[in-house]
Amino acid sequence: MTTQTRKARRAFQAKGGILRTTEALAAGIHPRTLYAMRDAGQIVPLALGVYRLADLPPLANPDLATVAKRIPHGVICLLSALAYHELTTQVPHEVHLALPRTARHPRLQHPPLRVYHFSGEAMRAGIDTRTIDGVRVHIYNPEKTLADCFKYRSKIGMDVVLEAIRAYRRKQPRLQRVLKYAATCRVERLMRPYLEALA
In tens, the pLDDT along 17-33 reads 888 888 888 888 888 88
Does residue 80 have a pLDDT over 70? yes
pLDDT-derived band at 37 (thresholds 50, 70, 90) equals confident
Domain shared by 81 and 134, yes or no: yes
Identity of the residue numbered 106: P
CATH number of the domain to which 38 belongs: 1.10.10
Domain shared by 26 and 72, yes or no: no
Q: How far is CA 176 from the centre of its chain?
A: 25
Q: Containing domain of residue 7, as a range?
A: 3-53
Measured from the Cβ of residue 130, the count of other Cβ atoms closer than 10 Å reads 14
The two beta strands, 127-132 and 135-140, are antiparallel
Domain shared by 122 and 186, yes or no: yes
Domain shared by 38 and 71, yes or no: no
pTM given for the model: 0.76
Domain shared by 78 and 134, yes or no: yes
Domain shared by 187 and 92, yes or no: yes
Domain shared by 8 and 78, yes or no: no
Domain shared by 74 and 154, yes or no: yes
How confident is the model over 141-164, as pLDDT tens digits? Answer: 999 999 999 999 999 999 999 999
